Structure 1
């Protein structure tokens, strides 16, 4: 994986946070793939930051479950197991469908307008068919929903969970036929929300999460060829 596209744009945010955001984005969009080593010397040179700043950022990403320290290898991007995926979607389904229903009760006019804009942006991105834009627009929709749920604790938990979900979102959307289903499911969620129907909202949201989980497991379960050229099964 080439590091040439990873860089820091100096803004007002603390440098440590900028490094975290840049590396998190590089992991979520696949520039750093599962199993890729994160070599401190190379990252310091690429990002033009000191080793202490980089180490603080990497510790945060490790706490978020995006990287792990492997004996005799050092830090690398996590490779999620079948059980990891099952647990992530189980927790996501329980909390996110509740957050969607709570949005109806707590969202203000501005948040409803933001949600409508996010839905329109997602449908435009889906029409364009650019994976990175689809993922970004989908994330924006979820973030708006969670921000308006009125439960700061649940929003904080989901924010942390979504950092790991980003590792799976591209896998789910890459499954043949998944995108048209995703569009229909997202529209069903939005329509249920707009109708102010919390029961229907939770039902269609549960269906969406279950469908995403199935697509992810199917995609990850397919035979693939490792970088060493050995063919293996991700999951039995």
Structure 2
């Protein structure tokens, strides 16, 4: 009985941490917690109705993701990106996603890959009629799926390590400009290029996509 209780408590704690992470990941890109905001443990733990220990676990994860950073005396605040950092992030994304797309082009049978990517496009189309949070998540899921379909875990992990920075770039630009980068048509061009199996064409498509996205964000 004691072991079962401990297991259940562990699950509950994990669930609370995940819920806190989800709430904070929403609050930062949408501007509820704008760049530079100091994160006060007592206030946040009361707002989220979780213990300070659970909150600290969530905050450590957010630091690793690049959404928050430590300043003087270790005080945590919402991170602020500058234009150079955004260009650098999207240059690395272009390299990673070009590698992913070239690996998909090399597959003899790409039918399942194309079906999965088109399903991700359909979800982006649906999310376009929903709120900003849904649009952000659908856009990220498309690119995450592109990397995941390669079966290359190192590539996927490398992409996921940039995810917090990608979310922060939305706050830098403002919501109106960020939404321009969530066009289904622009993403559909990448899928069309992969379907042809032409590695050179797909690399060009992704580089153009990322260069264009960075330009919109820092304009």
Q: TM-score, normalised by structure 1?
A: 0.76
Aligned counterpart in structure 1 of residue 177 of structure 2, from 163, 168, 175: 175
Please give the root-mean-square deviation of Cα atoms over the aligned residues, in Å.
2.8
CA contact (8 A) 1:100 1:201 kept: yes
CA contact (8 A) 2:13 2:54 kept: no
Distance 2:93 2:178 in 1: 23
C-alpha displacement of 1:65: 1.4
CA contact (8 A) 1:172 1:215 kept: no
- Residue 141 of structure 2 is aligned to residue 140 of structure 1: yes
Pair 173,110 (structure 1): closer, same or farther in 2 beyond 3 Å: farther
Please identify, of 51-60 and 102-111, the stretch whose mean Cα deviation from structure 2 is larger.
Answer: 102-111
1:115 counterpart SS class: helix
C-alpha displacement of 1:13: 4.9
C-alpha displacement of 1:179: 5.3
2:66 counterpart SS class: coil
Gaps of 5+ in 2: 1-10
C-alpha displacement of 1:155: 0.7
Per-residue CA shift, 1:196-235, capped at 9, x if unaligned?
22221111110000000111110xxxxxxxxxxxxxxxxx
Gaps of 5+ in 1: 1-9, 219-236
Distance 1:57 1:72 in 2: 19
Please identify, of 128-137 and 40-49, the stretch whose mean Cα deviation from structure 2 is larger.
Answer: 128-137
CA contact (8 A) 1:111 1:148 kept: yes
1:43 counterpart SS class: helix
CA contact (8 A) 2:110 2:195 kept: no
Aligned counterpart in structure 2 of residue 119 of structure 1, from 114, 118, 121: 121
1:84 counterpart SS class: helix
- Residue 33 of structure 2 is aligned to residue 35 of structure 1: no
Q: TM-score, normalised by structure 2?
A: 0.81
Aligned length: 207
Which residue matches 1:68? 69
2:58 counterpart SS class: helix
| Structural mapping, 1:221-236, within 5 Å | none
